[in-house]
Every structure is written in structure tokens, then in C-alpha cells.
Chain A
Amino acid sequence: MAKSMQELYDERMDRYWKANHLQKPDKVPFRPCAAELAGKIAGYTAQQVTHDPDLGLDAVVKMCQAVPGIDATVVNMVFVNTSVTESYGLKYYKVPGIDLDADDSFQYIEPQTEEDAFMKVEEYDRFIEDPNEFVMNVWLPRTSKYMVPPGEQNTWKNNLAWLKNGIAIQQYFQKLGANVARMQTETGTVSSLAGALKAPFDILADKFRGFRGIAYDLHRCPDKVLKATEAVAPHMAWNCIATADPSRKVPCSHWMHRGATGFFSEEVFEKFHWPTLKMVTEQIWEAGIQTIYYAEGKWARNLKHFRQLPEQSIIFHCDKDDIYEVKRVLGDRFAISGGVPNDMLAFGEPADVKKRVKQLITDFGPDGGYLLDAEAIMQQDVKVENFIAMAQACEEYGYI
């Protein structure tokens, strides 16, 4: 007799939870992070899944229906909805269907000069003194075409932008919740994460100073950089916990950027990046929540630092690192995910994918604590037949 959606969901949740907690489930879970790929499977353009929240979320449900064997996936891996960002004139995205072809992915455009930075170097003290005030009165108006800061002439467009921003984000949150429920009831699939953590150093680098800006700041005002990471850290932890899964069954996400080895030295990582990231990860763990360290790029020499975290507090997702080395360094303390190269998914054949999946499951499955995924977020360049082969291979070889 076929399982009900609830039975399927419970089975998958159990499998996902056990693998995340270093245990050996009945099957290696398949936990793809599928972004524009979901739209490709559902028959939607990148513009449709990025700009229309209903279609973007519907694509994930359709993907789960079309590809059997997905245990857990992200409800909105196309994580920026550009109708929301356009509602208040957010400046830093190139939008598919407007600035880009309808089948291109959205792009983040980081300011390239000090004049264009969303926080100026001389504004560190104001940011450190009161991050809430700075975000509301300086950062948001500066990132929007329409919002104006206090003290400037008010406008109709400013008032409208605040109103629309509020409505659009609230509606988007409501749609997210409804589609997590759809995934469960219509496909028996677990929504793989809830709540998002940003490393304090990353948020400063990505959204306030930019990479160039912070690279200079590390030399011209290192104490201020450090104080700014400390000032913003409590807000990163609080927001992550507030938006996490109330039942504490699924982890929150941490999309990791500037701590990768290509950007800064280990000395910079140890002094500026790691202390506050470690602190907030521990606070989140104390609240009963695991964090997926989605380690974009290569983290090689920095991997050892993560051993300082409490056992099982993170799930380490491996992108460009050697997953066998990651397993050797971290595998006794944390679950690991990843392992299927995106170029293989884009340019290889189903037989290549099946062979790679079989190898990963053979090598990592017997110990438990392994989740099958691609190395990086799957976009529209992934061949659908290769994605299906990935799911099929996990079903075929994953019961270990």
C-alpha cells in the first residue's frame, strides 16, 4: 500500500534529522539546494521564479512532485524575490526580465567605489553606536531609489516605498509558510531549513562596506572593523533564532562568503571573522538549532577552526573543498553534505552522475552523517536528466 504524504514526510524528516545529527539513517538523504533548476523542471523562466513569488514557490512543489526521492529541499532557493525588491526600488540587484535576459539569474552588484559604498568609512562609529538606527536611517534609504533619510525633503515616493516594502515582505513571508505546508501535504517533502545566519564579518563586507572597502579598512581602521562585527553580532544571532523552525527539527542556514581562503589570510580569518561567527553559532546551538555551514568556495586551512564548535552544532556543506579531506578533518564532529560537482551536473551525463553518487554513498554512507547534494546551488545550467539521475542513484544505492 502506498504511503500517505504524512507517512512519507515523517519518514523523510526522521532520515534528515538523523543524518544532520551524525547518526546513520535508513537511507542517505537527498537534500538538493535547487534554485532556478526548480523553475526549469516546472517549466518557468528565471524571471518567473525570481519575480513572481507564487510561481517561484510553486516551482519547488512541482519539482518535488516530478522528481521522486527528494527528502528535503529549500522552499525558496531563489532566495531573492525581485518583485519585493522592486517594490521599494532596491538598487543592488540586476533583475531577470528587466536588466537581464528572462532566463538569466539575478545578480548582486556590489558598489565598487568608496563614494558608492552603502556605509562610508567615516560612518563606522555611528554604525557601532547604534546599528538599528544606522540601518533604518542611513543604510535602507541609501540602498533604495525612493527612500529618503531623516532630515531630507520627504517625498510621495519615499512614503510609498516604506509602505510597499512592508506589505511586500509580509506577503512574501506568508507565502513561504503556506508553501512549506504545501511541500509537506502535497509531496511529503521536508523544508530543509528555516532562519538565516550571516557571519558578522560577511554582512559588514557584503552589504555595508563592500569587499574592496573592508579590505582597505582592515589596514586603516582594524579596531573599528572588529568593533563593528561585535556590534552587529547580537542582531545576527537574534534574527536567526527568531526566524528559525519553532520545533527545532530543521537547521538554519549560513551562506558563507568572505572567510573562504581566496579572500583573506588566515590571520584575518582568526582575528576578524571567526570570533563573532563562533559566538553566534554557539548562541544559536544553545537555542536548540543546528546551522548549515554552506561553505561556498574553498575553506581548506580554515576548516580546523570549526572543530572548536560544539559537536553536531553545524552541518558542513562542502563546495570546492575536497570532501574526503573535509570528512577527515570534521567528520567525527559534524555531518557533511555535498560532493556532486556542478560542472558534472551541467556538462556530464547521467551515467557520470550515478557513478559519483554511488561512490559518495559507498564512502560516506556507512558512517552516517552524510547528505547528498551538489557542490553548489543548482541553477538553470543543470541538466534535468542529471538531476533525476542523482535522485535515482540515491534511491538505488542510498539504503545502506
Chain B
Amino acid sequence: MQETKSVPGVCFPWEEKKKEYTEIKGDEEVVKAWWETYDVHAYVHLWFCVTGL
């Protein structure tokens, strides 16, 4: 199958986002979970524009 840079379910990966922080003083998992929650929504939203509208 054709390889692509796009990962299903991901627009802006946490690994990239994390590099923007010099330090996460509290619980990283909380920050990560909510980053990914909105990122998945953005991904579904983006493809809904293509397939559902």
C-alpha cells in the first residue's frame, strides 16, 4: 500500500506539540490527553467536510 505522511486520526501530533514546551510542571498525561482529544475532533471535522458535505 502507498505510504503517506498523514496518520489517520491525527492532524498535529502530540510529539510535535510537546517540543513547544520547555517544561511541563504538572501531569503531562492531562495535557497530552486534551491536546489529542481536540486534535482527533479536528481530523474528523476535516474529513467530514470532504466526505459528508
B46 touching A130 by the CB < 8 A rule? no
Chain B residues, Cβ within 8 Å of A165 = 49
Let me know if A79 is at the binding interface, CB within 8 A.
yes
B9 touching A139 by the CB < 8 A rule? no
Chain B residues, Cβ within 8 Å of A233 = 1
- Quote the shortest CB–CB distance from A181 to chain B (angstroms): 20
From 99 to 142 in chain A, residues with beta carbon under 8 angstroms from any chain B beta carbon are 128-133, 135-136, 139-140
Let me know if A250 is at the binding interface, CB within 8 A.
no
Let me know if B26 is at the binding interface, CB within 8 A.
no
Chain A residues, Cβ within 8 Å of B6 = 130-133, 231, 235
Let me know if B22 is at the binding interface, CB within 8 A.
no
Report the Cα distance A228→B2, complex, angstroms.
8
- On whether A242 and B51 interact (CB within 8 A), knowing A130-B4, A133-B5, the answer reads no
Let me know if B21 is at the binding interface, CB within 8 A.
no
Let me know if A249 is at the binding interface, CB within 8 A.
no
B5 touching A234 by the CB < 8 A rule? no
Q: What 1/0 mask marks residues of chain A from 185 to 224 whose CB sits below 8 Å from any chain B CB?
A: 0000000000010100001000100000000000000000
Report the Cα distance A67→B32, complex, angstroms.
49
- A-B contact number at CB 8 A: 71
- On whether A238 and B9 interact (CB within 8 A), knowing A79-B52, A135-B47, A140-B49, the answer reads yes
Report the Cα distance A235→B2, complex, angstroms.
13
Chain B residues, Cβ within 8 Å of A238 = 8-9
Let me know if A230 is at the binding interface, CB within 8 A.
yes
Let me know if A243 is at the binding interface, CB within 8 A.
yes
A135 touching B46 by the CB < 8 A rule? yes
- On whether A90 and B51 interact (CB within 8 A), knowing A128-B2, A133-B6, A231-B4, the answer reads no
Let me know if A72 is at the binding interface, CB within 8 A.
no
- On whether A84 and B47 interact (CB within 8 A), knowing A231-B4, A234-B8, the answer reads no
With CB as the reference atom, state the residue of chain B lying closest to A255. Answer: B51
Report the Cα distance A219→B9, complex, angstroms.
33
B50 touching A227 by the CB < 8 A rule? no
Let me know if A20 is at the binding interface, CB within 8 A.
no
A80 touching B53 by the CB < 8 A rule? yes
- On whether A207 and B44 interact (CB within 8 A), knowing A129-B5, A131-B4, A132-B6, the answer reads no
- Quote the shortest CB–CB distance from A177 to chain B (angstroms): 14
Chain B contributes a number of interface residues (CB within 8 A of A) equal to 21
Chain B residues, Cβ within 8 Å of A207 = 50-51
Chain A residues, Cβ within 8 Å of B48 = 169, 239, 243
A237 touching B8 by the CB < 8 A rule? yes
B1 touching A239 by the CB < 8 A rule? no
- Quote the shortest CB–CB distance from A217 to chain B (angstroms): 16
Let me know if A73 is at the binding interface, CB within 8 A.
no
Task: Choose among B2, B9, B11, B46 the residue that contacts A231 (Cβ–Cβ < 8 A).
Answer: B2
Report the Cα distance A150→B46, complex, angstroms.
16
Chain B residues, Cβ within 8 Å of A128 = 2, 4
A135 touching B5 by the CB < 8 A rule? no
Let me know if B35 is at the binding interface, CB within 8 A.
no
With CB as the reference atom, state the residue of chain A lying closest to B47. Answer: A239
A235 touching B53 by the CB < 8 A rule? no
B2 touching A198 by the CB < 8 A rule? no
Report the Cα distance A233→B4, complex, angstroms.
11
Q: What 1/0 mask marks residues of chain B from 5 to 17 whose CB sits below 8 Å from any chain A CB?
A: 1101111000000
Report the Cα distance A236→B8, complex, angstroms.
9
Report the Cα distance A84→B52, complex, angstroms.
11
- Quote the shortest CB–CB distance from B16 to chain A (angstroms): 13
Let me know if B18 is at the binding interface, CB within 8 A.
no
Let me know if A310 is at the binding interface, CB within 8 A.
no
Q: List 16 contacting pairs A-B, 8 Å CB cutoff, sorted by A.
A: A90-B53, A128-B4, A129-B4, A130-B6, A132-B5, A132-B46, A133-B5, A135-B47, A135-B49, A166-B45, A198-B51, A230-B2, A235-B8, A235-B47, A238-B9, A243-B48
Point out residues on B near A: beta carbons under 8 Å: 1-2, 4-6, 8-11, 40, 43-53
Instruction: Give 8 new A-B contacts, CB below 8 A, not counting A235-B47, A242-B9.
Output: A84-B53, A129-B5, A133-B5, A196-B51, A207-B51, A233-B1, A235-B8, A242-B44
